[in-house]
Amino acid sequence: MNYDTLETGVAIVADDSDTRLLALAEELAVPLLDEGAAFSGKWLLHRYRGALALSSVDKPHLQNIFVDLVSQSPRLAPARLAHELLLKAVGGLAPPELWVVDATAGLANDSALLLAAGHRVSMIERSPIIAALLSDALLRAGLPVGRASVCNADAGVELLRPHGARPDVIYLDPMFPVKNKSALTHKGLQALRELPAPPNDEGALLAAALEAARARVVVKRARKAPALPGRPPSFSYSGKLIRYDCYALRKLA
């Protein structure tokens, strides 16, 4: 990433035997601490039950945040998948397998859903800290080679790089504002909103996705929020709180 991770006040807690975390500290250019060492920053990256996890230094409710791409969440149960609006929006369950780029991956809740549906998923995440959590989750997931990947980049730039083949679907979740802060019950979502990052230019992000996708762009919005600026969506799938705007470019098949 182009913005300095040191500005986020992050350190890594690891002993000399954890070569992955030692390498990550060097890659992110953040301090490496021993267990229990004092730290005046905001966030710690550390091991938790074998996973790379993120914890706030001073907020007890934001502890041990990690990513699990193959969890046993009820949302990922086969009987539930066909009813998920996101999967309807991207084109349904595999087969056929679709190549979906989750261009604003965050903590990969939606990527996990897409993977459970049988699709190939490429995750783009601009925060190097969150991208590190994603990469660690991918190592632990044991997925077949080529089923998932992680790229730490600005999606608006990365989508426009020449990559040869074009993804079938590009999915955008620009994290619309939450008016009622009590709705932020998921600690991972709270952490995402507290980690500093450059603001998304939503119109430019949509334009880049429309240029890069082969068949469809899907955008997650609050149910009553306006569509992103630019091209109007072709159709939408709406739930009680969330809406998925779909921009059809050509047939998926």
Q: DSSP states of the chain as a string?
A: --S-GGGG-EEEE--TT-HHHHHHHHHHT--EE-TT----SSEEEEEETTEEEEEESS-TTS--B---TT---GGGSHHHHTT-HHHHHHT-SSSSP-EEEETT-TT-HHHHHHHHTT-EEEEEES-HHHHHHHHHHHHHH-PPTTSEEEEES-HHHHTTS--SS--SEEEE---PPPS-GGG---HHHHHHHHS--PPP-HHHHHHHHHHH-SSEEEEEEETTSPPPSSSPPSEEEE-SSEEEEEEE-S---
Domain total for the chain?
Answer: 2
Mean pLDDT of 146-164: 92
Report whether 201 contacts 223 (CB < 8 A).
Answer: no
Residues 32 and 140 in one domain: no
CATH code of the domain covering residue 208: 3.40.50.150
Range of the domain at 48: 5-56
Residues 6+ apart with CB under 8 A from 78: none
Q: Which of 38-42, 115-119, 135-139, 212-216 bottoms out in mean pLDDT, i.e. has the lowest?
A: 38-42
Q: State yes or no: pLDDT of 176 exceeds 60.
A: no
- At 102 the pLDDT is 98
Calpha distance 234→249 (Å, rounded): 9
Mean pLDDT of 1-11: 56
Q: State yes or no: pLDDT of 232 exceeds 70.
A: yes
Residues 165 and 226 in one domain: yes
68 is a domain residue: no
Report whether 183 contacts 177 (CB < 8 A).
Answer: no
Kindly give the pairing relationship between strand 99-102 and strand 120-125. parallel
Q: State yes or no: pLDDT of 192 exceeds 80.
A: no
Mean pLDDT of 129-140: 96
Q: pLDDT-derived band of residue 177, with 50, 70 and 90 as boundaries?
A: low
Residues 98 and 159 in one domain: yes
Q: pLDDT-derived band of residue 6, with 50, 70 and 90 as boundaries?
A: very low
Assessment of whether the complete model's pTM goes beyond 0.95: no
- At 79 the pLDDT is 87
Residues 39 and 84 in one domain: no
217 is a domain residue: yes
